[in-house]
Structure 1
Amino acid sequence: MIARQAVSEVNATNEVISGLAQSAQRISEVVKLITDIANQTNLLALNATIEAARAGDAGKGFAVVASEVKNLANQTANATDEIASQISDIQSKTEGAVSAITKIGEVINKIDEFSTAIASSVEQQGSATGEISRNVEQASRGTADVSNNISVVTHAASETGASASEVLKASEELSLKAMMLKKEVTSFIENIRKV
C-alpha cells in the first residue's frame, strides 16, 4: 500500500514537472516573438539611418536616434538569446527529472510486486514448520531485495530533488530575466513611439 501511494506521488510530481516543461516551451515561444520584433526593429533602424543620411545635415539628429534604437534592438536580441539558452537548459533538466521520476515509479512498482509475492508465499506455506522455515528464508531474501530497491529509490529521489531545485532556481532566474526583458521592451517601445 505504501508503494502504491509512492507511485501516486511520483505520478503527481511527474505531472508538475511536465507542466514546468510546457511553461518553458511557452516562454520559449514568447522569446522567439521578442527576437523577431528586435530583428524587425533593427531593420527599421537601419532604414532610418539610411533615410537620415539622405536628408543630410537635417537628418543628423534622427540618425542618432536610429543608432540608439538599433543598439537597443541588439541588446534585446542578446537578452532573448540568453533567455532562450536558460529555457533550453531548464527543458533539458526537466526531461532528466521526468526520466528519473519514471525510474523511481518502476522501482516502487517492483517493490510492491515483491511485497505482494512475499505475503502470498507466507500465506500459502503456513502448514508445516519446514515450509515456514523455507518461507522465512525466502522472505528474508525478498526483504534484502526490497532494501536494495529502497536504497535505489532513495538515491534517485535525492537526484530528483536536486534536479527540482535546479529547475526552480533556473525558473526564478528566467522569471527575473523575463521581467527585465519586459521592462527593456516596454522602454524600447516607448522610445520608438516618442520617435
Structure 2
Amino acid sequence: MSRVVVPALVGSLACLGTAGTVALDLPTTVGLATAVAGAAATAVLGARAHRAEQRQAATVREGLAALHRGDLSRSSADDVVGSALASLVERLRPVAGSVELLGIAGQEMGLTGRTISDGARDTAASAVDLATASDDVSEKVAALAAAGEQMQAAISEIARSASLAVGSAAEGVDAVVVAEETMGALERSSDRVGHVARAITDIAEQTNLLALNATDEVAETVAQIQGDTASAIAAIRTVRGLIDAISEFQHSIAAAVEEQTLSTQSMTATTTDLARQASTIASSTATVAELASRTSRAALRSHRVVDELTRITTGLRSSTGQVHLPAPEEVPGGFEIAWDRAANRLQFTEWGDWDLEVAKAFSRDLTAAIGEHRPGRTVLCDMSRMGPTTPDVQELIEGTMGVAARAQMAFAVIVLQDPLVAMQMQRSSEAQGAPIAYASSRSEAEALLAAR
C-alpha cells in the first residue's frame, strides 16, 4: 500500500497537538478530505443562512419600526411581512377617503338638521298665527251669523209691513171708487141744478130784478160747485194713480223681500259651513303645531348626533393622518370633447391623473370647441373617473371651466364620483346662483338635462 504525505488542514485535526505531517494511506486520506470539504461547505452555507436571517430580521425590524410610525409606504411583497403590510395597505387605502366623506356627510347632516329645525320653528310660528287667525275668523263668522239672523227678522218685518201696505192700498182704492161714484152723482146733481138755474133765468127775465139777482147767485154757486167737482175728480184721479203706483211698489217690495229671504238663507248656510271649516282649520292647526314640536325635538337630537359624528370623524382623521400609505398606481390622464349639435350640447369626459401638459391640452381644445357654440347651449362634464390634481393643474382647469361658463351657457351638469361630494358642490352652486347642477352618475345627469 503506497504512502502519501498530507499537510495538516485544521489545527483541531492535529491529534498529536503539534502541526506537522501525518503519513496516511490513500483511503484514509480521501475520507478525511471528503469530511473536511463537507464541513467547509456546511460552514459556508451556515454563514450565508445566518447573513440572510440577519437581513430578514433587519427587514422585519425596519418594517415594524415603520409600522409603529404609521409609515406603510415602504411595504413590499418580497417577504411574508412585506406581503402582509401590502395587504394591509390595500385594506386601509379606502379608509382615508371614507373618513373625508364621513366628514362631508356630517356637514351635510348638520346643514340639513338646521334647515329642518328652522323650518319647524317657522312652522310652529305660522301655526300660532294660523290659530289666531282661525279664532278671529270664528268670531267674525259668529258675528255674521248673528247679523244674518237680525237681517232675517228685519226682512220678515218688512214683508209684514208690505202686506199691511198692500191691504191699505186696496182699501184706499175701494174708497177712491166710492168717492168717484159720489162725485159722479154730485156732478149729475150739478147738471140738474144747472138746468134749474137756466129755468130760473128764463123766469127772471120775465119777472123782476130780484129774481135776476137770485139767479145770478144761484148760477155762481152752481159754477163754483161744478169747479169744485172737477177739481175733486182730478184729485181723485191723481190719488188713484198714486195708489196704483204704491201697489206696484208693494209688489216690487214683496218680490225683493222674497229674493232677499233666499239670499239670507243662502248666507246662513254659507256661514254655517264657514263655521265648520273654521273648526276644521283650528283642529288642523293644532296638529301642525304638534308635528312642528316633534320635528324640533327630532332636529335637536339630530344636532347631537351630528356633533358626535363630527367628534368621531375628527378622531378618525387624526388617526388616519398618522398613517402614510404608498402613492396609488398612476393612471394616464386624458379627456374627450364632443359636440351634440342636434341638442346644442357640449360633452366632455375626463379621466386619470392629469399633469400640467394634459391640462394645457384640455384648455386649448375646450376653448376651440367653445368657439363653435350656439346661444343657449348646455354642458355635460363627466369627471367621475378623474384622479386628484395638483394645485397648478386645478387652477388651470378651473380657469378653463370659467371661460366655458361665461360663453352663453344656459345650463351645465357635472358628474362626480361620490354622491356626498355632489351634494356639497350642489349646495355651493345654489348659494352662488350658478346654473350648474351636480350628479353622481351619467344617467342622473341626463335626467337633469332633460328636465330643463
Q: What range is the shorter-chain TM-score in?
A: 0.5 to 0.7
**Which residue among 40, 64, 82 is the counterpart of 2:150?**
40
Q: RMSD of aligned C-alpha atoms?
A: 3.0
1:110 aligns with 301
For structure 1, the 5+ residue unaligned runs are 129-195
1:95 aligns with 286
Tell whether 2:139 aligns with 1:29: yes
Question: Could you tell me how far apart the structure 1 residues matched to 2:296 and 2:289 are?
Answer: 11
Please report how far the alpha carbon of residue 102 of structure 1 lies from its aligned counterpart in structure 2 after TM superposition.
1.0
Question: Could you tell me how far apart the structure 1 residues matched to 2:255 and 2:310 are?
Answer: 82
Structure 1 segments, 4+ long, off by >6 Å, are 121-128
2:266 aligns with 75
> Does structure 1 conserve the Cα–Cα contact (< 8 Å) formed by 2:141 and 2:274?
yes
Identify if the C-alpha distance between structure 1 residues 127 and 63 changes in structure 2 by more than 3 Å, giving closer, same or farther: closer
Percent identity over paired residues: 16
- Secondary structure of 2:125's counterpart equals helix
What amino acid is aligned across from residue 271 of structure 2 in structure 1?
T
1:100-139 alignment runs, 5 A limit:
100-117=291-308, 119=310
For structure 2, the 5+ residue unaligned runs are 1-109, 170-246, 320-452
Question: Could you tell me how far apart the structure 2 residues matched to 1:104 and 1:67 are?
Answer: 55
Structure with the higher strand share, 1 or 2:
2
Identify if the C-alpha distance between structure 1 residues 114 and 63 changes in structure 2 by more than 3 Å, giving closer, same or farther: same
> Does structure 1 conserve the Cα–Cα contact (< 8 Å) formed by 2:116 and 2:295?
no
> Does structure 1 conserve the Cα–Cα contact (< 8 Å) formed by 2:138 and 2:278?
yes
2:130 aligns with 20
> Does structure 1 conserve the Cα–Cα contact (< 8 Å) formed by 2:130 and 2:285?
yes
1:12-53 CA-to-partner distances (Å, cap 9, x unmatched) read 122123223322332233222222221111000111222223
Please report how far the alpha carbon of residue 9 of structure 1 lies from its aligned counterpart in structure 2 after TM superposition.
2.3
> Does structure 2 conserve the Cα–Cα contact (< 8 Å) formed by 1:21 and 1:91?
yes
Question: Could you tell me how far apart the structure 2 residues matched to 1:36 and 1:16 are?
Answer: 30
Please report how far the alpha carbon of residue 81 of structure 1 lies from its aligned counterpart in structure 2 after TM superposition.
1.2
> Does structure 2 conserve the Cα–Cα contact (< 8 Å) formed by 1:21 and 1:94?
yes
**Which residue among 68, 71, 85 is the counterpart of 2:276?**
85
What amino acid is aligned across from residue 48 of structure 1 in structure 2?
I
What amino acid is aligned across from residue 148 of structure 2 in structure 1?
A
1:136 aligns with none
Question: Could you tell me how far apart the structure 2 residues matched to 1:73 and 1:6 are?
Answer: 48
Identify if the C-alpha distance between structure 1 residues 116 and 66 changes in structure 2 by more than 3 Å, giving closer, same or farther: same
> Does structure 1 conserve the Cα–Cα contact (< 8 Å) formed by 2:162 and 2:254?
yes
Structure with the higher helix share, 1 or 2:
1
2:408 aligns with none
1:65 aligns with 256
2:420 aligns with none
Structure 1 length-normalised TM: 0.54
1:72-95 CA-to-partner distances (Å, cap 9, x unmatched) read 211111111112222222221121
